[in-house]
Amino acid sequence: MIKYDDDININEMLKGINIPTPPQIVADLQMEMSQAEPDMNAMTDMISSDVGLSGAILKIVNSPFYAGRGSISSVSQAVMHLGMKTVIEIVNTHCLREACTPEDLPKNTYSALIRFWDTATDVAKLSAMTSRVLNLSPKANVYTLGLFHNVGIALLASKFDDYFSVMRDSYNQKSLSISDYENKILDTNHAVVGYYVARAWKLDKQICDLIGKHHRHDEILAVKNKDALDGQMLCVLKIAEHITGLHRILGDCDLDYEWQVIEQKVVEVTGISSIELEELELQAKENGIGSQQYFN
């Protein structure tokens, strides 16, 4: 259980990083969705009233990942074809990028973060694909987990001039976990920062906790109950990270050292077969997932 608040100075952990709060439309949609009977028409109108957001949604829903639905021309059509839950995930994707990638960043940092968000979206997509292969419960919101899990990287990159070097080095550690290495160099890590972003955006507590420990090898290896949803979700995320190739894209590393430590446990918990892993890798390739290059 994550207990970052207990006897710990949060400001010290965050190193002066300002955690972005969600825009009003995200808060309003969350509030409406929490109602016993959400008003779908009102939610559709909320999204449609934001021209920039509506355009971003239509661009995404007509992309190949959503079966290339080139005929969708309105938010209401997107809701009808994909469902409000999926549309809200797309809203979160767009708003999170905007909130965590200010345009006044140095040009190189801004460009790198745009590429970073492509990897976050890829992990979210592949998490959803993996969840379907494993027939996880619909309650397992692995898309949101995949989207938000590395958000701390964006904020640390904005705070520390040398963060990209630290990030790359963290993936190349054989004896230290990624978060442990960041703690050693920066006195904080992107999982901790991501935990507080998820809390600020009022995500489900389960997702917040999983973000906070997603590089904790001890937490992953300690998963025992194969039916525990949080353990399943954490392992699905690790599968998605591995197949997406974050060790190569973010770490410029040929070997996934974290996967070497946790692979056996992930397979044990999820029951995923080598054939299913190969099929997911093929689907990822067909969808262009994992093709990004972070370091040139």
- Given a contact cutoff of 8 angstroms between Cβ atoms, the answer to whether 240 and 277 are in contact is no
Please report the pLDDT score of residue 12 as a whole number: 63
121 & 190 share domain: yes
CA-nearest of 268, 269, 267 to 280 is 267
Over residues 253-269, the pLDDT tens digits come to 999 999 999 999 999 99
What pLDDT is stored for residue 287 in this prediction? Answer: 80
**SS3 call for 215:** coil
Residue type for position 164: F
Task: Single out the residue in 72, 100, 128 at which a domain terminates.
Answer: 100
Is residue 140 situated within a structural domain? Answer: yes
DSSP 19: P
Q: Can you say whether the dihedral through the CA atoms of 175, 179, 185, 187 is positive or negative?
A: negative
Last residue of a domain, one of 70, 100, 130: 100
How many folded domains does the chain comprise? Answer: 2
Question: What is the torsion angle, in degrees rounded to the nearest 10, for the CA atoms of residue 83, residue 195, residue 258 and residue 128?
Answer: 0
- Beta strands per DSSP E along the chain: none
CA-to-CA dists, residue 47 to 121, 157, 234, angstroms: 20, 30, 31
Domain span including residue 167: 103-296
Domain end marker among 100, 123, 145: 100
295: pLDDT confidence band, cut at 50, 70 and 90?
low
Alpha carbons 233 and 243: distance in angstroms, whole number: 15
Which DSSP letter does residue 34 get?
Answer: T
> Structure tokens of 217?
């090898």
Among 22-26, 55-59, 120-124, 281-285, the least confident range: 55-59
179 and 258 assigned to the same domain: yes
